[in-house]
């Protein structure tokens, strides 16, 4: 009996000291992370030094890009933003991490972004990635872009035709549109306010569907698939949290009950894209024009001769679709937001574009568009202030360590440069919260060659180096054509009650919630057809440019002697 009592008492004693052991272990764990970690000498938010749940919280909230910027203002250029992760806010780090030493790989956390097989964006291993990228680049090469351009332009025209439709009922059309000129006459009064985030989401998804798969989603004209961009936004909330703190998924899949809506949305999207790829892979599917998938199906790695398997093709096309649509629509919404709230820039851009072209059919990539330096400056300035992917893209130091910004970092540590943060660093951009396209133009507003180069050196909305955006050329074509076309053909202005400006914007900027890419609202804009007939007569000589074919899926654009092959890389050569 006494023995039993003794056993019970001992058990109770052990149980009573368990919480004490747990607390001591936790303290030891925190002390180790704070004081005995290779990053312990770097400052940062106290909670972030102990757990990556700090970063996960801001990813969930959507203000991680702004918080990273804020922490640099508080602690300086080096901020420990998670126990094993350091953010560095200068151009030395941008060069060293993304463009310099080969001793970096993407953070293993990128695995949470995978849909089934690994893809170019989520691949960690450098050699594997290089092989895959050599194949993917063929689908987005300059030659491929030239064949995609008429499709892109046709969707842009359709978008503005729809959103300026005289008949409001047309906005919810369930049928594919009839030829635009018949269905939509010119509008000579202001449209009601249009939510441009929606319109640009629909536009860019239609473009990606057509260019990648040769399939029309028709989000611009039909409500049937409009839930897809929303589904991606929901899904991104969960994934952005897991990217910061993958342990949330590893511990008993608690993400399933934290984000049930996001998981449902992801499955909805994957089923949708899976269906598209299935259609494209059928032998009888022969698209009218070249699509990215049709190019990738027949491409092989020039070094190894490898081709993509069906599974890899699915993973790649899904990624291209998401990576390309979401980001470009955010960029477009930001550009229109800043133009509609900066009359000086808007007026100057109007003059530049309207003087350059005599008819909308002249608007295409080529020497004239490339000469529109203010247009390019307006786009860059919007990408600087509201980068569609604004947080820090972590890279892991490999065996042997790496020197970054003059300091040595051992293997296993993760480093990154916050994109929104460095693009708001006043060392590179005086008055960083002001929309000033002129800052990109040498000789204007006191800009010197050095000051413009300094601004360029920190500009990284597409990231830089071998893991920089493979779709940058295509994105810049989309943005330039859409802005030039809208400016040429319409007048637009912000709605008086533009909700975009209220509530969740930061320092008067276009408000973005950063969940890997930015989710957005607005701007609310009104459009009116420009009165071309009564505008001042152009005095410049008419340029000999070929007309572009405007119907949807027109095939490869015809070339003539007056239409030299365009070197897209040269057009955007200032970019890295």
* Binding residue positions for heme: 469
Token reading at 496: 């008086």
Residue 400, classed as helix, strand or coil, is coil
Output the smallest distance, CB 328 to ligand HEM, in A.
4
Angstrom CA distances, 31 to 26, 178, 313, stand at 9, 68, 47
- Token readout for 466 is 């071998």
Least separation in angstroms between residue 473's CB and ligand HEM is: 9
Do 339 and 375 contact (CB within 8 A), yes or no? no
Residue 86 near residue 78 (C-beta atoms within 8 A): yes
User: Residue 410 has which token pair?
Assistant: 């051992």
The residue (of 121 and 413) whose beta carbon lies closer to ligand HEM is 121
Q: Which one, 296 or 349, has the nearer CB to ligand HEM?
A: 296
Mode of pairing for the β-strands spanning 414-416 and 85-88: parallel
- Nearest approach in angstroms of CB 131 to ligand HEM is 11
Work out how close the CB of 256 gets to ligand HEM at its nearest, in angstroms, rounded to a whole number: 25
Of the two residues 50 and 321, which places its CB atom closer to ligand HEM in the complex?
Answer: 321
Q: Which two tokens stand for residue 111?
A: 């695995």
Six token digits for residue 287: 């698209």
Other Cβ atoms less than 10 A from the Cβ of 543: the count is: 13
Chain centre to alpha carbon of residue 280: 25
* 324 or 437: CB nearest ligand HEM: 324
Q: How far is the CB of 324 from ligand HEM (least distance, A)?
A: 3
Instruction: Tokens for 56, please give them.
Output: 């996960």
- Spatial neighbors of 208 by CB under 8 A, at least 6 apart, are 320, 321, 324, 325
Contact 201, 188 (CB under 8 A): no
Q: What Å distances lie between residue 400 and 93, 104, 108, CA to CA?
A: 18, 10, 18
Q: What tokens were used for 209? A: 């569907």
**Toward ligand HEM, which CB reaches closer, 209 or 471?**
471
First to last CA, the chain: 81
* Nearest residue (CB) to ligand HEM, 154 versus 470: 470
Distance CA 21, CA 98 (A): 43
Of all residues in the shown chain, the one whose CB is closest to ligand HEM is 471
Which residues, 6 or more positions from 534, have their beta carbon under 8 angstroms from its beta carbon?
none
How far is it, in rounded angstroms, from Cα 65 to Cα 56?
A: 12
Of 207 and 237, the one with the shorter C-beta distance to ligand HEM is 207
Ramachandran region, residue 122 (left: φ > 0; alpha: ψ -120 to 50; beta: rest): alpha
Smallest distance, ligand HEM to C-beta of residue 77, A: 21
**Residue number, 432 or 471, with CB nearest to ligand HEM:** 471
Cα–Cα dist 173/177, whole Å: 8
- Of 50 and 474, the one with the shorter C-beta distance to ligand HEM is 474
Identity of the residue, 150 or 193, whose beta carbon is nearer to ligand HEM in the bound complex: 150
**492 in Cβ contact with 523 (< 8 Å):** no
Number of H helices, E strands in the chain: 22, 12
Least distance between ligand HEM and beta carbon 286 (Å)? 22
Place of tokens 């800009």: 447
Q: Work out whether strand 524-529 and strand 407-409 pair parallel, antiparallel, or are unpaired.
A: unpaired
- The smaller minimum CB distance to ligand HEM, of residues 127 and 189, is found at 127
Nearer to ligand HEM (CB atom), residue 84 or residue 451: 84
Minimum distance, C-beta of residue 333 to ligand HEM, in the bound complex (Å) = 11
E runs forming strands in 448-511: 490-494
523: preceding bond cis by omega (within 30 degrees): yes
Positions touching ligand HEM (CB under 6 A) are 120-121, 133, 140, 319-320, 323-324, 327-328, 331, 388-389, 393, 461-463, 467, 469-471, 474-475
* Shortest Cβ 89–ligand HEM spacing (Å): 16
Least distance between ligand HEM and beta carbon 470 (Å):
5
Residue numbers in the known binding site are: 469
Q: How far is the CB of 445 from ligand HEM (least distance, A)?
A: 26
Question: What phi and psi values does residue 563 have, to the nearest 5 degrees?
Answer: -120, 80
Smallest separation, CB 283 to ligand HEM (Å): 25
Residue 559 CB partners (closer than 8 Å, separation 6+): 546, 565
């Amino acid at each position: 009996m006494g023995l039993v009592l003794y056993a019970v008492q001992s058990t109770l004693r052990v149980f009573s000291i368990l919480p004490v052991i747990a607390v001591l272990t936790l303290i030891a764990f925190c002390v180790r992370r704070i004081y005995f970690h290779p990053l312990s000498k770097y400052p940062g938010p106290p909670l972030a030094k102990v757990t990556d749940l700090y970063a996960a919280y801001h990813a969930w909230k959507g203000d991680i890009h702004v918080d990273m910027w804020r922490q640099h203002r508080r602690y300086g250029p080096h901020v420990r933003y998670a126990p094993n992760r350091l953010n560095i806010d200068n151009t030395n780090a941008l060069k060293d991490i993304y463009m310099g030493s080969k001793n970096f790989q993407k953070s293993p956390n990128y695995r949470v972004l995978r849909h089934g097989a690994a893809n170019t964006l989520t691949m960690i291993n450098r050699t594997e990635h290089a092989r895959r990228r050599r194949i993917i680049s063929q689908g987005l090469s300059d030659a491929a872009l030239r064949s995609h351009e008429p499709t892109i332009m046709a969707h842009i025209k359709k978008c503005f035709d729809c959103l300026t439709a005289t008949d409001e009922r047309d906005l919810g059309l369930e049928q594919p549109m009839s030829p635009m000129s018949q269905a939509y006459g010119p509008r000579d009064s202001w449209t009601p306010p249009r939510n441009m985030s929606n319109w640009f989401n629909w536009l860019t998804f239609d473009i990606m569907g057509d260019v990648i798969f040769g399939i029309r989603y028709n989000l611009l004209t039909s409500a049937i698939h409009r839930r897809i961009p929303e589904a991606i936004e929901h899904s991104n909330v969960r994934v952005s949290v897991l990217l910061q703190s993958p342990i949330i998924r590893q511990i008993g899949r608690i993400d399933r009950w934290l984000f049930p809506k996001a998981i449902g949305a992801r499955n909805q999207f994957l089923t949708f894209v899976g269906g598209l790829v299935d259609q494209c892979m059928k032998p009888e599917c022969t698209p009218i024009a070249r699509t990215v998938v049709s190019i990738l199906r027949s491409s092989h790695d020039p070094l190894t001769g490898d081709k993509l398997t069906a599974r890899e093709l699915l993973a790649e096309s899904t990624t291209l679709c998401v990576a390309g649509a979401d980001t470009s629509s955010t960029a477009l919404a930001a550009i229109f937001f800043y133009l509609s709230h900066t009359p000086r820039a808007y007026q100057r851009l109007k003059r530049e574009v309207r003087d350059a072209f005599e008819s909308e059919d002249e608007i295409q990539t080529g020497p004239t568009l490339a000469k529109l330096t203010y247009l390019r400056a307006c786009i860059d300035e919007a990408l600087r202030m509201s980068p569609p992917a604004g947080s820090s893209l972590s890279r892991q130091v490999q065996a042997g360590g790496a020197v970054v910004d003059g300091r040595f970092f051992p293997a296993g540590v993760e480093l990154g440069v916050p994109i929104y943060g460095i693009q708001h660093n006043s060392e590179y951009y005086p008055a960083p919260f002001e929309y000033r396209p002129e800052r990109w133009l040498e000789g204007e507003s006191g800009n010197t060659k050095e000051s413009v180069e300094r601004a360029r050196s920190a500009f990284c909305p597409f990231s830089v180096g071998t893991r920089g955006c493979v779709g940058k050329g295509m994105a810049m074509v989309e943005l330039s054509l859409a802005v030039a076309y809208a400016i040429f053909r319409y007048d637009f202005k912000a709605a008086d009650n533009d909700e975009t400006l209220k509530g969740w914007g930061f320092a008067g900027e276009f408000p973005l919630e950063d969940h890997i890419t930015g989710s957005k609202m607005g701007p609310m804009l009104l459009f009116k057809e420009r009165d071309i007939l009564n505008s001042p007569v152009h005095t410049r000589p008419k340029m000999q440019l070929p007309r572009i074919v405007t119907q949807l899926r027109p095939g490869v654009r015809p070339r003539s002697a007056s239409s030299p092959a365009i070197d897209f890389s040269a057009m955007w050569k200032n970019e890295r």
